[in-house]
A and B are shown apart, each in its own frame.
Chain A
Amino acid sequence: MDTILTFKNVNAGYGRVRILNDLSFEVKKGEVYGVIGPNGCGKTTMFNALIGLIIPTHGEIIYDGKNVTKMKANDRCRLGIGRTYQVPRPFEGMSVFENCLVAAVHGAGHSEKEGRRVALEALKLTELYDKREVRAGELTLLDRKRLEIARALGTEPKLLLLDEVAAGLTEAEVKDVMKMVATLKDAGYSIIWIEHVIETMVKSTDTLMCMAQGSNLVVGEPLEVMNSKLVEEVYLGGVEDDE
């Protein structure tokens, strides 16, 4: 399989605080790539560097054959990197439909007429179609998370970044999310998925990476990674104490 994304020895952070430490990994086209790791290990920072909200101080990010390390966020979006935020950040004053329309018009470069079609499709895929005229600020948490995904889909990404889309949801809702991710994978999207719910990650991902202190600790088959001693130590902090 081809590679869609490569991180090569990336250092990045906020101001003088360095969060990512020589981070390297590769994501293949069409796979669901899971990322786990303790709080503060740099998962979300990795996304921020990947979409261009922060610029690495060292190393390279290669997306789809292009070096995007220093590219602006909106240009990367045009190339097909779409993200969701851990804490949903809808455009609250706009309707659900308008949220996706912004993405389709600005992110995918459509006219408003064509964007309308793309936006509505994204809303159908994420089961928000019936709520399309509701103000985004009035949505429930699950629907906000759905809107995050819908808005990212509106940009017509090739690589979709999911930041804890299952966090804070009930078990039934998590299953909905897992189903949605499976649908997206079948539709051909490459996906990087950050999540804390380990069980979900083992079931839904093709490759799993565990991060610690801003770098790549273990990568491999999800089950393998979960069973690795290193992960136990750094992330789970002694499984035997847990249920």
Chain B
Amino acid sequence: MKKMKSSNRDTVRVFGGWPLLIACIVIVAVLVVIGFVGENNIRRILIRMFLYCAMAVVWNLMSGYTGMTSLGQQAFVGIAGYSMAVMTSTYLASYWVGLLVGGAIGAVLALVLAVILFRMRGMYFAIATWVIAEALKTFFLSWKFVNQGGGLSVMGRPTDRTIIYMVALLICVAAIVTVYLLLNSKLGLGLTAMRDDPDAASSVGVNIFKSKLICFVVAGIFTALAGGWYFLNNVSIYPNSGFGNSWTVAVVFIVIIGGIGTMAGPIVGSVVYIMLSEILADYPGWSNIILGFIAILVILFLPDGIIGTLQKKLKFEILSQKRFSQE
């Protein structure tokens, strides 16, 4: 554990190194064991949690660290979900092919969108991403190849839920590890500067375009992988489910509740979100109203989210990307 004098009064403790790594390994090991022996309902809930967590972690990378607040991540979810369905039902390929094709198309889509979107900042960027996702939804609603609004089924779903569980866990862990490594690399150092002042960052040599592009593509890939895998588990996809804005609503909720701009925030946020949505599942009409109400309360009273507030109050940082002058 390192200590940092952050002002004349405060000292921040940073949890990291071996103890943290061991704690993470233990948590993942427990989750793996649950994958083998856990009861079906628990595993179903955890699969959803892993996939939402993966999407939230990369959305936080974009919005919390580079200021690109995308409201159109469902574009990637839908594209990947349809890739999964088309590959397995139209071409009768295995779901592995479906997953990888979805991820690859997600990456290409991110690269193409970057050319258009990176000319915009802030609100304009957010609206543009949303419009693009809506346009894709409209397109899929009328595209004969994907059966228009009638949707498609995913074929060849593994009979053993363990595989779905393990891959979902893998996607989640991979997203977290990737984002953590990115933030602790040279690139991450530049991102933190960019978040505070993009012009000043570029005048000390940070390549804004490249940094944004890497984050956007990483987010696109993991959102697509998680989305594709979600629809394998879900068995069928429609334009309104794949490209529905409830994806973005959920992801934004998770990141805000957990703590935007913190590594652990989206992880904690996804646990909270999935638990709440499971509890509220019995009250379908009320669930969104209650979730919205909770979000408003958190924004009003804990604007830094659960983790952000805890870190400030208790003066610690977890999974931090802080650099110290002494090694």
Within 8 Å by CB of B6, from A73, A89, A95, A155, lies A95
Binds A, one of B31-39, B122-130, B317-325: B317-325
Cβ proximity bits B237-248 to A, threshold 8 Å, 1 near / 0 not: 000000000000
Q: In the assembly, what is the distance between CA of A223 and CA of B91, in Å?
A: 82
Known: A98-B323, A102-B189. A89 touches B205 (CB 8 A): no
B201 interface hit (Cβ, 8 Å): yes
Docked-complex contact B7 and A135, CB < 8 angstroms: yes
A112 interface hit (Cβ, 8 Å): yes
Within 8 Å CB of A119, what residues of B? 325
What residue in chain B is nearest A103 (Cβ atoms)?
B204
Known: A89-B200, A106-B186, A106-B190. A97 touches B205 (CB 8 A): no
Docked-complex contact A53 and B199, CB < 8 angstroms: yes
What residue in chain A is nearest B187 (Cβ atoms)?
A106
Within 8 Å CB of A138, what residues of B? 7
Q: In the assembly, what is the distance between CA of A8 and CA of B99, in Å?
A: 56
What residue in chain B is nearest A93 (Cβ atoms)?
B196
B197 interface hit (Cβ, 8 Å): yes
Docked-complex contact B324 and A97, CB < 8 angstroms: yes
Known: A94-B196, A97-B323, A98-B322. A112 touches B189 (CB 8 A): yes
Chain A's interface size range is 35 or more
Residue pairs across A and B with CB atoms within 8 Å: the count is: 107
Docked-complex contact B323 and A112, CB < 8 angstroms: yes
Docked-complex contact B204 and A77, CB < 8 angstroms: yes
Docked-complex contact A134 and B5, CB < 8 angstroms: yes
Docked-complex contact A112 and B186, CB < 8 angstroms: yes
CB distance from B284 to the nearest CB of A (A): 41
A91 interface hit (Cβ, 8 Å): yes
A151 interface hit (Cβ, 8 Å): yes
Known: A112-B186, A134-B6. A74 touches B206 (CB 8 A): yes
Q: In the assembly, what is the distance between CA of A155 and CA of B325, in Å?
A: 17
Please give the residue numbers on chain A whose beta carbons come within 8 Å of chain B beta carbons, in ascending order.
51-53, 72-74, 77-78, 82-83, 85, 89-95, 97-99, 101-103, 105-109, 111-112, 116, 119-120, 132-135, 138, 151-152, 154-155
- Could you pull out 25 A-B pairs where Cβ atoms are within 8 angstroms? A52-B203, A72-B202, A74-B205, A74-B207, A82-B204, A91-B193, A91-B201, A93-B195, A93-B196, A94-B192, A97-B324, A98-B189, A98-B192, A105-B189, A106-B186, A106-B190, A106-B193, A106-B206, A108-B205, A133-B4, A133-B5, A133-B6, A134-B6, A134-B7, A154-B204
